[in-house]
A and B are shown apart, each in its own frame.
Chain A
Amino acid sequence: MVHTYKQGGYNIAVDVNSGAVHALDDAAYRVLELIPSKPVDDICPQSIIDKLKDVLDADSCKNAYRELFSLAKDGLLFADDDYIDVNRAFPENPPLKALCLHISHDCNLRCKYCFASTGDFGTGRKLMTPEIAKAAIDFVIARSQNRRNIEIDFFGGEPLMAMDSVKQAVEYAKEQGKIHNKNFRFTITTNGLALNQEYIDYINSEMSNVVLSLDGRPEVNDEMRKTVSGDGSYEYIVPKFKKLIDSRDKSLDYYVRGTFTRDNLDFTEDVLHIADLGFDQLSVEPVTAEEGCLYALQDCDKEKIFAEYEKLAEIMKERRDFNFFHFMVDLEQGPCVIKRIRGCGAGYEYAAVTPEGDVYPCHQFVGKEEYRMGNVCDDTFDKKISDEFMGYNICTRESCKKCWAKFYCSGGCSAANLNMNGNLEDSYELGCELERKRLECAIMLKVHDALNA
């Protein structure tokens, strides 16, 4: 399978199964578009020469064809996927290696678009006790098998509202990590409102990653991200985020993460605003919202969003003082093909734990009772649900099988499928289309870099 497209002044071919990416001149691009499957020899079919006779002379056709055949012969074009062993991606009992700890089902903001129903996921405002947090650490260690790296994301609600539990969990995980030879890595996702110097110092010393929520321009952020009293949050959080990042070791990760909705389809302005504030690791993502909701993205917004991603990519051809999460792609040594088949791992490699200790396939399933997999206190973990999630992947989902982007997005998001289509299996098409557009932008930027090095 080969995906061809034009963007940013480049003709690009992505060979799906090998992962190779090529930049083509107009002749090769035109010829490649007319080759339906792997060529058997280097002689250009007369039908292609005839079809292109008005735009390309026969010699150019033949030469381009010869080069394309050579790439195919070398496994860089029309490659087969027969080297992939799906069973390696999905072993009988996969290790659990990442937990999203809902350390707080309470929040000090009242964001309009919150998929957690302003923090409590519809389950009542509650903080996770240190005891439950420690039980979650034991739970993941016991199921991590030979995985050394274990990730814990302190999530909410707003995790800063449960800092005592966060600190005790970190302390306990480090102590247990030494005993069981595990390397714990911590992330905290915060709205920033309760940040103070003590918390900033703690986060910068203990968290290998911190995700700071900010939507962009003041008016955009404040329309959605409001305090309990209804004020905008921008003026409170931005100075705190700056203070945190200014004192953070450059070797540690962070993201300033925003959400765009139907109300700010010109989100490039928000990305640039955040970059202009001096933050250089950015992610601005499409809102998760139910259909019918006023700010939910609709199919008719697609072209505008596509154009916006293209606009941002054009700007980033010249401007590289920041990284945009969704335009980051490692063409040289990204994740292995096994990881790309596995995808996000929700429900088997990755799970979410509520303040009560209940386990769900991921943070977006919390509160959906039929997906409750067990509890960290009684050490239960429903293998049937785990197997069900493993069963949906790029090798089984019909829409993924034929998609050129399958090895980059790795099957998309089961929660989005459930929210938008009512089941885990059928891909949420608008989400897929946006993902493909982002990947085209990301790959175009790589081509741009390579050709202008």
Chain B
Amino acid sequence: MNHVKTINSAVLKESACKGGCGECQTSCQSACKTSCTVANQKCENKK
């Protein structure tokens, strides 16, 4: 493509198939305790 550079693909849709194991860290336990951000948490599903 000449006009658009895709930085990353449809990761959310792909994650719907294998996701939901619930083993990842609870967001407020990592550092924030006051301001929610979930998208910076690590996925722990190695499948």
Contacts and interface: CB of A to CB of B under 8 A. Distances in A.
Interface of A: 13, 15, 17-25, 27-28, 63-64, 67-68, 70-71, 75-76, 79, 83-85, 88-89, 95, 97-98, 100, 115, 147-149, 151, 153, 155, 185, 187, 189, 209, 211, 253, 255, 257, 259, 283, 285-288, 325-326, 328-340, 343-346, 349-350, 362-364, 407-413, 416, 431, 434-435, 438-439, 442, 446-447, 450-451
A119 B47 CA distance: 42
B35 A431 contact: yes
B36 A19 contact: no
B41 A325 contact: no
Interface string B5-47: 1111111110110111111111111111111111111111100
Nearest to A29: B3
Contact of A22 (B5, B21, B30, B40): B5
A102 to B, nearest CB: 12
Contact of A340 (B7, B31, B38): B38
B26 A71 contact: no
B39 A20 contact: no
A409 B4 contact: no
Chain A CB within 10 Å, residue with most, of B15, B28, B30, B42: B28
Contacts of A68: 3-4
A23 B2 CA distance: 11
A351 to B, nearest CB: 10
B21 to A, nearest CB: 8
A363 B4 CA distance: 44
Q: Secondary structure at chain A's binding surface: helix, strand, loop or mixed? A: mixed
Contacts of A148: 23
B19 A336 contact: yes
Contacts of B23: 147-149
| CB-CB nearest 3 A-B residue pairs | A336-B19, A19-B12, A28-B3
A325 B13 contact: no
Interface of B: 1-13, 15-16, 18-45
A95 B28 contact: no
The secondary structure that dominates the B interface is: loop
Nearest to A75: B10
Contact of A255 (B7, B13, B19, B30): B30
B12 A340 contact: yes
B36 A409 contact: yes
Contacts of A20: 6-11
A2 to B, nearest CB: 12
Nearest to B44: A149
A410 B32 contact: no
29 contacts: A19-B11, A22-B4, A24-B3, A24-B5, A63-B2, A64-B3, A88-B20, A97-B26, A98-B25, A147-B23, A151-B29, A185-B25, A211-B31, A325-B37, A332-B11, A335-B41, A336-B19, A336-B21, A336-B43, A337-B13, A339-B24, A344-B28, A345-B27, A349-B22, A407-B39, A409-B39, A410-B36, A413-B35, A413-B36
Contacts of B33: 155, 189, 211, 257, 363-364
Contacts of A338: 15-16, 19-20
Contact of B39 (A70, A83, A335): A335
A83 B13 contact: yes
Contacts of A13: 4
A330 B39 contact: yes
A332 B5 CA distance: 15
Contacts of B13: 17-19, 75, 79, 83, 337
A42 B37 CA distance: 37
Nearest to A333: B43
A49 to B, nearest CB: 15
B14 to A, nearest CB: 8
B6 A411 contact: no
Contacts of A349: 22, 26
A187 B9 CA distance: 34
Given A63-B2, A147-B23, A257-B31, A408 B39 contact: yes
A24 B4 CA distance: 5
B25 to A, nearest CB: 6
B31 A337 contact: no
A17 B1 contact: no
Contacts of B42: 330, 334-335
B35 to A, nearest CB: 5
A67 B2 CA distance: 8
Contacts of B34: 115, 259, 285-288, 364, 413, 416
Contact of B26 (A75, A98, A438): A98
